[in-house]
């Protein structure tokens, strides 16, 4: 999914509130849900994918056959991090640089940084403003993936995703840090393909 404020939607203001985001995403996706589909998200995207699955359920839309959540604590577990989205630019950039994932070339280039900072701040605001609400577990299987060297998301925090499904759950720890989906991409793709193989065979 390409969210507002990114790539070809760069001119649109980024969304900083989860309910508004998933309420916009669900009806936009519904015309494409006429065949088996899965949802996958990394870091903040894992929360978006999870809340999107719950929003689809509320709208009585077809459910995903599988939910893949990468590099994010289970939603009912408090993040425990100090908010950063309102920090002054220099402090905010330092925090973004510390987390990794954003090329230094972008952060060092004045024009690119000016373009990216509002988007990054919106992402942090979306994450920091997230409030989990109790609801029945999802009916689809959930697979959680994490990086063995991820300083932000432990195995225990990933294990908590098991409470969010009434179906099967699996957890896989892969080599790499928070952005293991890039460094361990072949392993990620292999795991996803293995889980979806039964559905691809009948699609």
- CATH number at 57 reads 3.40.50.1820
Q: What is the pLDDT of residues 22-59, one digit of tens each?
A: 998 999 999 999 999 999 999 999 999 999 999 999 99
**What pLDDT is recorded for position 55?**
96
Low-confidence ranges of the chain (pLDDT < 50): none
State the catalytic residue, choosing from 16, 43, 73, 127. Answer: 43
- 169 belongs to a structural domain: yes
- 115 belongs to a structural domain: no
Q: Which residues pair with 147 in a beta bridge?
A: 174
Question: How many structural domains does the chain have?
Answer: 1
The answer to whether residue 73 is catalytic is no
**What pLDDT is recorded for position 103?**
73
Angle at CA of residue 155, ends 47 and 41, nearest 5°: 25
pTM score, whole prediction: 0.88
**What pLDDT is recorded for position 7?**
67
- 162 belongs to a structural domain: yes
Going by their DSSP bridges, the two strands 38-42 and 66-70 should be labelled as parallel
The 142-147 sheet, strands edge to edge: 38-42, 66-70, 142-147, 169-174
Tell the burial category of 145 from Cβ atoms under 10 Å away from its Cβ (0-12, 13-18, 19+): buried
- 154 belongs to a structural domain: yes
Give the distance from CA 165 to its chain's centroid. Answer: 17
Query: Rounded distance, CA 184 to CA 178, Å?
Result: 11
């Amino acid at each position: 999914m390409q969210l507002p404020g990114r790539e070809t939607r760069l001119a649109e203001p980024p969304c900083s509130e989860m309910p508004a985001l998933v309420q916009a995403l669900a009806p936009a996706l519904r015309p494409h849900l006429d065949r088996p589909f899965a949802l996958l998200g990394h870091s903040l995207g894992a929360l978006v994918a999870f809340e999107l699955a719950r929003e689809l359920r509320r709208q009585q839309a077809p459910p995903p056959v599988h939910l893949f959540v990468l590099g994010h604590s289970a939603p009912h577990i408090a993040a425990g991090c100090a908010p950063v989205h309102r920090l002054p630019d220099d402090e905010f950039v330092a925090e973004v640089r510390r987390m990794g994932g954003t090329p230094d070339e972008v952060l060092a280039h004045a024009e690119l940084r000016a373009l990216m900072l509002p988007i990054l701040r919106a992402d942090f605001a979306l994450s920091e403003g997230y409030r989990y609400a109790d609801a029945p577990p999802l009916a689809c299987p959930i697979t959680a993936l994490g990086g063995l060297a991820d300083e932000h998301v432990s195995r225990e925090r990933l294990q908590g995703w098991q409470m969010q499904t009434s179906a099967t759950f699996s957890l896989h720890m892969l080599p790499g840090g928070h952005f293991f989906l890039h460094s361990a991409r072949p392993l990620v793709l292999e795991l996803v393909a293995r889980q979806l193989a039964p559905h691809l065979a009948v699609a």
